[in-house]
C-alpha cells in the first residue's frame, strides 16, 4: 500500500489496510478422484512479422492435477474443477464456461480469462496481466493484479489485493444479492461498477469511484483521490458510515488496534437521482458535495467540505 503522503487520515486508512492479515479465499470444490491433466496440440497464432508460431496449451481438469511448483510453458486451459498450488503459468489462463479454478499462490504472466458461468478464486496469487470476466459466475482475488479487472460477473470480491489498473465491473440485472465487494484493497485506476450491491471499505483508490444503478451502495473508511459519484441507486446509499459490519466479518477483523477512520475524498462527492435513502457521514470531501434528484430522505452529518454544498446536501 502507498505511504508517506502527509495526510493523517489517509495514513490511518492505509495503516489499517496493511495491518490486516490476508483473508483466505474459498476453495473450489474438488472433482472426482483420478482426474489428470492432458496435453493438447497448440493452436496456430501469429507471431512477430506475421510468422505463425505454436503456443503450448496445458489442460487442467482436476484437483492437484498439476503438482505444486509446476511451470506451465504456455497457456493453461481449465476444463474441469481445477485447483493449483504455487503454479507458474508463462502464458494466459482461460477458465472455460461453467468450470472453476482455485489457485493458492503462484503467478500468471499473461491474462486470466473467466468465461460464462465460470468461477475463479485466487489466494495470494500474482497476475502480471489483467482479469477479463465474460459473464462469469464469480471472482475472488487476494494478491496482486498488475493491470485491470474488467467485464461482467455475478460477484467480484477483491480483498487484500493490489490492482494496478482499473476495476470496471457490470453485474447482471438478474443478480439481486451479489455484486462488487472491495476490502483492504489498493486500486491504481478508476473503479466503475454498474448494478448489483456495492461495498467498498478500508481501501485506497488512486483515482475515483463511479457507481450506477446499484441495488445498495456502501463506501466506508476509504481514501479516494478523485471524484466519488453514486447515481440511479435503487436502494440505500451510505457514504462514510463508520463501524460498518457485514455478514462476513466483525469490526475487530478490520483492525483490533485502530479506531474507525473517516473517509477521505480528494475530489467531489456527487449523489444524483437515487431512489433509496442517502446518508453521508464521517467523511472529508476536498471538493464539492452535490446531492440532486434523490427521491429518498437525505441525511448529512459529521462531514467537512472544502468546496461548496449544493442541492439536498446544502
pLDDT of residue 53: 58
* Regions of the chain where pLDDT drops below 70: 1-54, 242-260
Distance CA 196, CA 203 (A): 19
pLDDT tens figures, 19-75:
333 333 333 333 333 333 333 333 444 445 555 556 799 999 988 789 999 999 999
Closest CA to 206 of 162, 241, 149, 146: 162
pLDDT of residue 101: 98
pLDDT of residue 65: 84
**pTM: predicted TM-score of the whole model, two decimal places:** 0.81
pLDDT tens figures, 208-217:
999 999 999 9
pLDDT of residue 30: 39
pLDDT of residue 241: 74
Residue 273, C-alpha cell as written in the block: 437521482
- Round the CA-based radius of gyration of the chain to a whole number and report it: 21
Distance CA 193, CA 205 (A): 14
pLDDT of residue 38: 37
Do residues 278 and 259 lie in contact, with contact meaning Cβ atoms separated by under 8 Å? Answer: no
- Pairing type for strands 57-60 and 38-40 reads antiparallel
Amino acid at each position: 500500500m502507498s505511504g508517506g503522503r502527509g495526510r493523517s487520515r489517509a495514513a490511518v486508512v492505509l495503516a489499517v489496510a496493511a495491518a490486516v492479515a490476508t483473508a483466505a479465499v474459498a476453495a473450489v470444490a474438488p472433482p472426482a478422484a483420478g482426474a489428470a491433466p492432458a496435453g493438447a496440440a497448440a493452436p496456430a497464432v501469429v507471431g512477430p512479422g506475421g510468422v505463425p508460431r505454436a503456443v503450448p496449451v496445458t489442460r487442467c481438469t482436476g484437483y492437484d492435477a498439476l503438482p505444486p511448483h509446476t511451470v506451465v510453458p504456455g497457456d493453461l486451459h481449465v476444463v474441469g474443477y481445477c485447483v493449483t498450488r504455487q503454479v507458474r503459468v508463462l502464458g494466459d489462463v482461460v477458465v472455460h464456461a461453467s468450470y472453476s479454478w482455485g489457485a493458492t499462490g503462484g503467478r500468471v504472466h499473461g491474462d486470466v480469462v473467466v468465461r460464462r458461468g465460470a468461477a475463479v478464486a485466487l489466494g495470494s496469487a500474482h497476475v502480471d496481466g489483467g482479469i477479463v470476466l465474460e459473464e462469469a459466475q464469480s471472482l475472488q482475488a487476494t494478491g496482486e493484479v498488475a493491470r485491470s479487472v474488467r467485464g461482467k460477473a455475478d460477484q467480484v470480491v477483491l480483498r487484500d489485493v493490489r490492482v494496478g489498473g482499473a476495476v470496471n465491473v457490470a453485474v447482471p440485472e438478474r443478480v439481486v444479492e451479489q455484486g462488487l465487494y472491495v476490502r483492504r484493497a489498493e486500486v491504481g485506476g478508476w473503479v466503475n461498477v454498474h448494478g448489483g450491491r456495492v461495498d467498498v471499505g478500508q481501501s485506497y483508490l488512486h483515482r475515483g469511484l463511479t457507481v450506477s444503478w446499484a441495488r445498495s451502495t456502501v463506501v466506508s473508511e476509504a481514501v479516494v483521490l478523485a471524484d466519488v459519484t453514486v447515481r440511479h441507486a435503487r436502494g440505500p446509499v451510505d457514504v462514510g458510515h463508520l463501524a460498518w459490519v457485514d455478514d462476513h466479518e466483525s469490526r475487530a477483523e478490520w483492525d483490533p488496534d485502530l479506531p474507525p477512520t473517516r473517509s477521505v475524498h480528494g475530489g467531489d462527492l456527487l449523489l444524483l437521482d437515487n431512489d433509496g435513502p442517502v446518508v453521508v457521514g464521517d467523511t472529508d470531501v476536498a471538493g464539492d458535495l452535490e446531492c440532486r434528484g434523490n427521491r429518498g430522505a437525505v441525511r448529512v452529518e459529521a462531514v467537512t467540505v472544502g468546496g461548496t454544498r449544493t442541492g439536498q446536501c446544502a
